[in-house]
Each structure stands twice: as C-alpha cells, then as structure tokens.
Structure 1
Amino acid sequence: MATPHIAANKGDIAETILLPGDPLRAKFIAETFLEDVVQFNATRNMFGYTGTYKGKKISVMGTGMGIPSIGIYSYELIHFYGVKNLIRVGSCGAFQKDLKLYDVILGIGASTNSNYAHQYNLPGTYSATASWELLSKAKKVADEKSIPVTVGNILSSDTFYSADETEVQRWAKMNVLAVEMEAYALYCNAAAAGVNALCILTVSDSIVNKEETTAEEREKSFTRMMEIALELA
C-alpha cells in the first residue's frame, strides 16, 4: 500500500536499501550497478528502484536533504515496507585535516545539533549509533577490497549555513570527523524499531582544507562507497 510519500506496494522494496540524499544519485546507482531494475517510486520526484546485485535483491531511493526528510522516508520504509537494513550513502564535509577528497567514512556514531530525539522523552542525551552488524560487515568488505576507510563519529547538522563561525573547530576538537545532515535521524529510527542502519560517506569537500568537488562528481563518481554498500545486501 502507498504511504503519503512512497507509491509502492508491499513487496516492491527489498529488505536492504541504499539511501542517497539526491534522487538523481539513486537513479544513477540503479542504472549503473543493478540488474532487472524496476522503479517503485516517483512521488515528489524522490526516485526509488529495486533490482538485483550479484543475484541479491536490493533497493535504492533518495531521501532528500536534512533530518526531517530522511526521518519521514526511513520511518515509512521500516514500518510500512518491512525494510531491515538501511544504508545511507552520502557526501560530507571533512572537519579533520588528514581527510582528503573522496576518502570514505563509516559513521560509527552521529552527534547532532537537532532535537530529533526529543520525541522519545528520554531522561538524558541519546547517542545515536550505527548497527554493529552492518558496520563490522562494511569494514570487512572494505578491507577485502583494499578500500581505505576511516571509522568514527560524524555530525548530523540542521544548519548548512551556520551563523556560528566557531562551531567547526569545536566539533573537530572532539574528534568529530565530518558533517552531513541525515544520519542521526536514520540511526534513531532504526534503533527505535530494532532494525539495522549505517551511514557510509564520501568526503565531497574539506571545510578545513578549502577543497570541494562538483555536483556532477558527487552524483556519479563516489564509486568506492557503493562497492562497500552494495555488498551489504
């Protein structure tokens, strides 16, 4: 049955799904890496596809930008479509000088400046973390493929253009590796539902080294990240 945001039927979506922010990146992944592809969603132009990779059923769908957007899509995927493994594949801005463009990060945990976890009425600050099952498997795949990865804490920020000019240095001092805008909500939704989630990121720009990739490069060239993620089906 369709939800307000996903026009798919039960069974159209695999138990494992890749979640790029950009719907055009979802289209590129489906057309480049998957076989026997069927599109299951175009509502709000948030493209979603299901196909096979090395004979295993896997889906891919865009989530849009920000915690509220991925919060909606991941919740519906989990609770209405039975998705068990949700893998965000996205770009990030590096906070640490030793991280270079195209480096791959596995987000073991996500810090945030969001109030997303307020809904759970917890008596403290919730630390949102990846599923160990997916994280350990992703690291093993990366090692087997000789793909260097950095494993650590990332920041899911509600603000892309921040009025606080000192925040990068303060997060970096706490050894936060990079900033993106979605993982915290994904990790919260997965934890609350008892399913698995992981955020795999490619460095698209370095905030400290003042380097950046183009929009087309972000859409089509982050292939090492995909090599890891697709093996998790």
Structure 2
Amino acid sequence: MPTPHISAAKGDIAETVLLPGDPYRAKWAAETFLDNPKLVNEVRGMFGFTGTYKGNPVTIHGSGMGMPSLSIYANELITEYGAKTLIRIGSCGAMQKNINVRDVIIGMSATTLSTPSRGIFKEINFAPCADYGLLEKAVAAARAKGTTTHVGNIYSADVFYDERPDLNEIMIRHGILGVEMEAAELYNLAARHGCRALAVLTVSDHLITHEALPSSERESSFGDMVEIALQAAFA
C-alpha cells in the first residue's frame, strides 16, 4: 500500500517508529542499533529502515526538516501503515544556562507559534504534550545510563533562520529548555489519532553560549538519545 511519499509494502512498517529529521541519520541509527535492518523506503531520498531491537520490530524513518515535512510522513505512517508509537530523535539548541552541549532533552510539552494543525484548532490554543508513559520510561532509561537529561517544555520553531531575538528572549525567560522544529506537530497528530509520541533530543548547540558540537562528534553523542528512545518504547 504505497503512499505518495512512502513506498513500503504492507507489513514493512513496524508499529514503533523512530523519526530523525535527517534520512542519513535514520540509516546510521538503523545500522547501529537494529538487528537485520532492511531498507523499506527511499522515495525522494527519505530513507526508512525496519529491523528489530531486542526482538521487537522497529522502523527508523526520516521525517525531513520542519513540521510540514514531519506532518506528511507521520500522517502516512499512522493512517496508512498503522504506526502506534512515534518517537522523534533529533538535535536541538539549548536555551538555558544549566544545559550543556551533548545533554539530552526530553520534551514534556511543545510551545510553538504555528503548526500545520492550526487550521483545525482555529481559535483554540491546544497544548501539545508527550505521552506520559513514554516520557516516564525515557527518563528512567536516561538515569540508568547516567546521561545528563532535562525534562520540560521545548519550543518547536517553524523557521530555522529566525530574525526574532526578542522571541528567543521570551522563551528563555519562561523556562523553555531547547528549540527544534518538529515535536509540536508530532504531538498534535498523536493526540488526534490516539497514538503515543515523544521527543528525545540531543543538544547540538547552545543559543546562549554559542557552543556547538562538531559534526565529527555528533554520531557518537547521538547514540544515547537513540538508546533512550528504544528503551522507552519497549521497557
């Protein structure tokens, strides 16, 4: 049952899907953490792989950058392929002084200016939040690994090159932990379709200190994030 953006056959997509934005990060994560990963999608260069983690079927599928792109893939994965648990794994920029590069942020809720779901909600300011069961298990997994982890509100931006320093200042003042570009819409879609969703993010740069993780170190630093997500899904 191919869709306009996913060519996988029926049964090729697992009920548990990890969603990195970068399709090459999907490839790396699948080859590193899954047993017998199989390429199930490469339409438009957006790789999806299905394998197993400790005997449990898992799909790791790229979502692209930004909420409109994620919305396309998440909608098709949920409505056409039966995905039930969707966990975003990606990078973010820290927005608090007590957070360091390489730390992990788990998004309890997601603040945003706008999402693709805004037209549905109309005048309602819906508050998208994570599935508590997944969040609880992710926190436990992070503690067991000894990973420095922060849990709270994140900001899902709808632009990358932001020219609103005043907006960042407001987010920092109100305790937003980090900024990324996809989680709020993922949480909206999960709520709409009765699915579980979570965002587990690695801090790759810092909006206050301007420190940034070198590209050569990103993969090794992102490993904790992937393991935490997998353990949360199957604990």
TM-score bucket (shorter structure): over 0.9
Number of residue pairs matched? 233
Report the 3-state secondary structure (helix = DSSP H, G, I; strand = E; otherwise coil) of the residue aligned with 1:150.
Answer: strand
TM-score relative to the length of structure 2:
0.95
Shift of 1:219: 4.3
Helix, strand or coil: the match of 2:111? strand
Matches within 5 A, 1:1-233: 1-231=1-231, 232-233=233-234
Kept in 1: contact 2:202–2:221 (CA 8 A) = no
In structure 1, give the amino acid aligned to 2:10. K
CA RMSD of aligned residues (A): 1.3
Displacement of 1:113: 1.4
Output the amino acid matched with 1:140: A
Indicate if the aligned counterparts of 1:25 and 1:220 stay in contact, CA closer than 8 A. no
For the residue of structure 2 that corresponds to 1:155, the secondary structure is: strand
Of residues 136-145 and 51-60 in structure 1, the stretch that sits farther from structure 2 once superposed is: 136-145
How far apart are the structure 2 equivalents of 1:92 and 1:143?
Answer: 20
Tell me how far apart the structure 2 counterparts of residues 122 and 158 of structure 1 sit (CA, whole Å). 18
Please state whether the residue corresponding to 1:91 is helix, strand or coil. Answer: strand
**Residues of 2 paired with 1:178 and 1:143: CA distance?**
20
Give ranges in structure 1 of 5+ residues lacking alignment: none
Q: Distance in 2 between matches of 1:7 and 1:44?
A: 10
Letter in 1 for 2:176: V
SS in structure 2 opposite 1:151?
Answer: strand
Tell me how far 1:66 sits from its aligned partner.
0.2
Report if the CA contact (8 A) 2:115-2:184 is conserved. no
Work out the percentage of aligned pairs sharing the same amino acid. 48
Instruction: Find the aligned partners of 1:71 and 1:122 in 2 and give their Cα distance.
Output: 18
More displaced 10-residue stretch of structure 1: 220-229 or 32-41: 220-229
| Structure 1 stretch displaced more, 138-147 or 45-54 | 138-147
Mapped to 2, the partners of 1:179 and 1:126 lie a distance apart of: 19
8 Å Cα contact 2:115-2:185 kept in structure 1:
no
- Counterpart contact for 2:109–2:128, Cα < 8 Å: yes
